[in-house]
Structure 1
Amino acid sequence: MIRTLLLLWLTLLAALPARAEIDIREITTPGGLSAWLVEEHSIPFLALELRFRGGTSLDAPGRRGAVNLMTALLEEGAGGMDAQEFSVATETLAAEFRFRAEGDSVAVSARVLTENRAEALALLREALIAPRFDAEAVERVRAQVLAGIDSDSRDPDAIASRSFRALAFGEHPYGTPADGTLESVAALTREDLIAAHASALARDRLHISAVGDITADELAGLLDELLGALPAEGAPMPERIDYTLKGGVTVVDFDTPQSVILFAQRGMKRHDPDFFAAYVMAQILGGGGFSSRLMEEVREKRGLTYGIGAYLYPMDHSEMFTGSTSTVNARAAETVALVQEEWRRLAAEGVTAEELERAKTYLTGAYPLRFDGNARIANILVGMQLDGLTPDYIRTRNDRINAVTPEDIRRVAAGLIDPDNLHFIVVGRPEGLEPTH
């Protein structure tokens, strides 16, 4: 019954109109934790988002995959409860917890009803503070991770991503599989998981957002109780690594009728003064929808692919401008040539006033639609914190996009877009495409 009630609330939240104004309060708890809060008391529901900066990049040498496996085990028993007991308790309270290990962060999401908030977050506290890492749970989840790694070894998209990152970043954590390898995951011990927990889940890299039926005073007390017992400091962050991969084509032989094509060049830092001009430029070149140049040239005019896109990808320790597509082997060479041509055209010509206005209309019109429920708002807010943005970004973001001029994009394109150093990874058996790397 309680679970049904939670699902009903979530359905109602999804139906709420997008909010034009978001009132964000920055709070600091007595214990020194910082959080962003949006109070919304119309529905008795709270969405809480936690992000621990570092993520799978914090794996110890020789222990690749430890943070990923540790994170997957947080809901597999905690404190005095084994995996089944923890699952039953979560279900009984109609709570929803999600734990995800990503390249630059560990993400924790909680959705709880007001009437069960204290009990549900006490349960979450046990998962974060006192995971059990029971042998049975470790082996069961390890088997799931190993099955995923094995499946990825036969997936052309996964092969393309893994091959590209290895070329671009080598032995840096960005260059090795975040899930680990069959050998590294098989060798992980319970002690490795305990060490990964202490390294990744620490207060010195924590970002918090909360949206829903709670006051600032209530949230402050809740957060200190929930998170105060975590370690004060975690493992050091990895070193920065500049993207320096030269242009060319790398072919990874794989028996498949379609070639998967991934391409990239150096990117731009999120806080570069020209980021918004580059962001709008990327939308025109390869953004969502059917109006981008790549979609027009590669799909609409020639029918070479179902979809193609390109986007800026600023990470914590490096940056790329990257994209991907797929096509039949017989037309892979043509597709690569078209992407190269559009890269050169953008560097040489910039964009038209009509293209710029169309991109601005799309980007500014779509932005308010993201704020369509407590959970999505909480996710956006914690992402803003990770990006080092301030709460007024929500109010000023569209103004910054509208301020971009064709001259801005022409200047940024001339400096950023680098056709000679655009590198392609092609997984398949492309016809007429000669590797250069």
Structure 2
Amino acid sequence: MTQKTFFRTLSSLAVLSVVALMALSRLAYAVEIQKVVSPKGIEAWLVEDHTVPIIAVNFSFDGGSTQDPAGKEGLTRLLAASLDEGAGDLASEDFQGKLEELAVSIGFSTGKDRFYGSLRTLSPRLTQATDLLKLAVNEPRFDETPVERMKTQLSTQIRRNQSDPNAIAGRSLADAMFGAHPYARPTLGTMESLTSLSAADLQAQHGKILTRDGLKIGVVGSIDAKTLAPLLDKIFADLPERSDLAAVADLAPRTGGTVHRELTVPQTTILLAYPGITRDDPDYQAAYVMNHILGGGTFTSWMYQEVREKRGLSYGASTSLSPYRHTGLLIGSAATKSDRAGETVEVMLNQLSRMATQGPSQDELEAAKRFITGSYPLRFDSSGKIARQLVALQNAELGIDYFDRRNSEIQAVTLEDVQRVAKRLLAEHKPTIITVGQQQG
């Protein structure tokens, strides 16, 4: 989210945070999900929880930064920053003042593939909160002064990123692996592209992305299906029925090669990347377990043990899966002293090769599965986390029963599954290596 009206909204967020903390001790992952369909056909997944008076609403639309037109990079990000900067008859300060007065939080953000929104409110203020959300979703004003303020904030972030080693590494990785694909477009945009964006551009993007056919909704809290159904129509039924999104092709990331970006900083940032896996791939759970052992399990992972614990090369080294709709990446990362960057890369590559050729032991596999299944409830210790998970399940088309199936799917992963997916992801491709720091490394 863009930094704005921080002090003005701090008290509102504090109220919601205190109430949310009250919920931590009683929310569990064994939740009952109801499918709610409004009178006009808007569908949402609902988890009722009446123990505290708080309601969390999360939603998403098809179309993220990949929908930015050429030369207008950053348009969808600016749209997300501007939707709550005045709507309907309320100018920016009036809209933000209402949020503060009611202790309501409304936010928007964008990824590569989808556009996201959220609402957090105390249940006694649900009517006023949904009034404001309806305005933001349906009638954003895009007044010149707040839009220019948002442009300035995004431009400031772009300037910061120009000297931030992590941002430079990420940008270099996208350029190297995605090429001319829309995934390579900078979500924040560029200084030049932001300058060219207008209120008319924002209105057009709003009409293209915020539509009913790509809408997914998750609701958690002190509300029942009968109350929720008409609210869904109130907020979303007036949106256009169909989107007008540009087609995005599936992508096989380019692999191999080394890119170095010179930057005078004490440490060198390292990224090692391979083609990954999409969320709907049958091998995803096996890849998830494999990644946990390789570098996703922090203190117990091979990367952490070999890079930090045994050699003291970095404060931490890790790997992660990054699934997109049209491709996926597996990324290893670390930061180390510049004069030890080469050694660190070598150690990391050795662990990737070890996983590809040998794989883990049966004991390592069982320990990973115990941790992954045992820590799963931590994803459900607040209303907001559950609401986000409900939307994520719908986005990935995993089914309303996924919460019940997930741990059994992890338990079913065998050593042969992990070895197979490790060879598929790590043995069949050469890594792309990105380093950002001083050349001496």
Q: % of aligned pairs identical?
A: 39
Where structure 1 has 5 or more consecutive residues not aligned to the other structure, the ranges are: 433-437
Shift in Å, 1:20 = 4.5
Q: Indicate if the aligned counterparts of 1:304 and 1:331 stay in contact, CA closer than 8 A.
A: yes
Report the Cα distance in structure 2 between the residues aligned to 1:243 and 1:252, rounded to whole angstroms: 24
Q: Work out the CA distance in 2 between the residues paired with 1:333 and 1:3.
A: 45
Please tell me whether residue 118 in structure 1 is matched to residue 127 in structure 2: yes
Q: Work out whether 1:10 is the aligned partner of 2:20.
A: yes
Summarize the alignment of residues 91-106 of structure 1 with structure 2, pairs less than 5 Å apart. 91-106=100-115
Aligned partner letter, 1:354: D
> Which residue does 1:224 correspond to in 2?
233
Match of 2:80 in 1: 71
Q: Do the aligned partners of 2:253 and 2:327 also contact (CA within 8 Å) in 1?
A: no
Which range is displaced more, 226-235 or 129-138?
226-235
Equivalent residue of 2:300, what SS? coil
Q: Is the 8 Å Cα contact of residues 333 and 430 (structure 1) preserved in structure 2?
A: no
Contact kept? 2:277, 2:329, Cα under 8 Å: yes
* Helix, strand or coil at the partner of 2:299: coil
Q: Deviations over 1:233-276 (max 9, x none)?
A: 22324422423322222111112121111111111121222211
In 2, distance between residues paired with 1:82 and 1:196?
20
Counterpart residue type for residue 260 of structure 2: V
* Cα distance in 1 for residues equivalent to 2:306 and 2:14: 48
Q: 2: CA distance between counterparts of 1:5 and 1:343?
A: 46
Q: Retained in 2: the 8 A contact 1:267–1:314?
A: yes
Q: Is the 8 A contact 1:162 1:176 kept in 2?
A: no
Deviation at 1:211, TM superposition (A): 0.6
- Distance (Å, rounded) in 2 between the aligned partners of 1:20 and 1:97: 25
**Aligned position for 1:202:** 211
2:289 and 2:80 mapped to 1: Cα distance? 35
- Asked whether 1:368 is paired with 2:377, we answer yes
**Which residue identity is paired with 1:216?**
A
Determine if the alignment matches structure 1 residue 166 to structure 2 residue 175: yes
Task: Confirm or deny: 8 A CA contact 2:53 2:123 kept in the other structure.
Answer: yes
Q: Is the 8 A contact 1:64 1:178 kept in 2?
A: yes
1:357 matched to 2:388: no
**Which residue of 414, 417, 434 maps to 1:405?**
414
Q: Is it true that 1:389 corresponds to 2:402 in the alignment?
A: no
Residue 50 (structure 1) aligned to one of 56, 59, 63: 59
Q: Is the CA contact (8 Å cut-off) linking 2:278 and 2:326 kept in structure 1?
A: no
The answer to whether the 8 Å contact 1:51/1:208 transfers is yes
The residue type paired with residue 356 of structure 2 is: A
Letter in 1 for 2:140: P
Task: Work out the CA distance in 1 between the residues paired with 2:140 and 2:429.
Answer: 50
Tell me how far apart the structure 2 counterparts of residues 288 and 81 of structure 1 sit (CA, whole Å): 47
Q: Is the 8 A contact 2:276 2:425 kept in 1?
A: yes
AA of the residue aligned to 1:351: P
Task: Give the C-alpha shift of residue 189 in structure 1.
Answer: 1.1
Separation of aligned partners in 2, 1:171 and 1:277: 31
Give the conservation status (yes or no) of the 8 Å contact 1:160–1:425: yes
State the 1:419 CA deviation: 6.8
Instruction: Answer yes or no: is the 8 Å Cα contact 1:57–1:238 preserved in 2.
Output: no
Matches within 5 A, 1:189-268: 189-268=198-277
Question: How far is 1:65 from its partner?
Answer: 0.7
Q: TM-score, length-normalised on structure 1?
A: 0.95
Deviation at 1:429, TM superposition (A): 1.7
Amino acid at match of 1:72: A
Residue 339 of structure 2 corresponds to residue 341 of structure 1: no
* Alpha-carbon distance in 1 for matches of 2:338, 2:15: 51
Distance 1:172 1:420 in 2: 20
Name the structure 2 match of 1:435. none
Q: 1:183 aligns with which of 192, 199, 204?
A: 192
CA distance in 1: counterparts of 2:64 and 2:214, whole angstroms: 10
Equivalent residue number for residue 5 of structure 2: none
Secondary structure of the corresponding residue to residue 372 of structure 2: helix
CA deviation after TM superposition for structure 1 residue 13, in Å: 1.9
1:322 paired with 2:331, answer: yes
**Equivalent-residue separation in structure 2 for 1:239 and 1:196 (angstroms):** 16
CA apart distance, 1:171: 2.4
Unaligned runs of 5+ in 2: 1-10
Length, aligned pairs only: 431
SS of corresponding position for 1:117:
helix
Q: CA deviation at 1:118?
A: 0.9
3-state SS of paired residue (1:255):
coil
Q: Which stretch of structure 1 is more off in the superposition, 404-413 or 141-150?
A: 404-413
Once the two structures are TM-superposed, the CA of residue 205 in structure 1 deviates from its matched residue by: 0.9
Query: Does residue 1:28 correspond to 2:37, yes or no?
Result: yes
- Pairwise mapping of residues 260-279 of structure 1 onto structure 2 (< 5 A)? 260-279=269-288
Which amino acid is 2:229 matched to?
Answer: A
Describe the SS at the equivalent of 1:404: coil
1:78 aligned partner, one-letter code: A
Tell me how far apart the structure 2 counterparts of residues 345 and 197 of structure 1 sit (CA, whole Å). Answer: 48
Given residue 289 of structure 2, which amino acid in structure 1 is its aligned partner?
A: V
Distance 2:205 2:362 in 1: 51
- Matched residue, 2:145: 136
1:86 paired with 2:85, answer no
Higher mean C-alpha displacement, 227-236 vs 139-148 = 227-236
> Partner of 1:421: helix, strand, or coil?
coil
1:28, distance to aligned residue in structure 2 (A): 1.7
Once the two structures are overlaid, the 10-residue window that deviates more, 17-26 or 195-204, is 17-26
1:105-147 CA-partner distances (Å, limit 9, x unpaired): 2211101122111111011110111111111111111111111
Paired residue for 1:431? 440
* Matched residue SS, 1:211: strand
Aligned counterparts of 1:275 and 1:188: Cα–Cα separation in 2: 39
Shift of 1:97: 1.0
Is the alpha carbon distance of 1:238 and 1:162 closer, same or farther for their aligned partners in structure 2, counting shifts above 3 Å? farther
What RMSD in Å do the two structures reach over aligned CA positions?
A: 1.6
SS in 1 for 2:120: strand
CA deviation vs aligned residue, 1:282-301 (integer Å, no higher than 9, x gap)? 10001132110011111110
Q: TM-score, normalised by structure 2?
A: 0.94
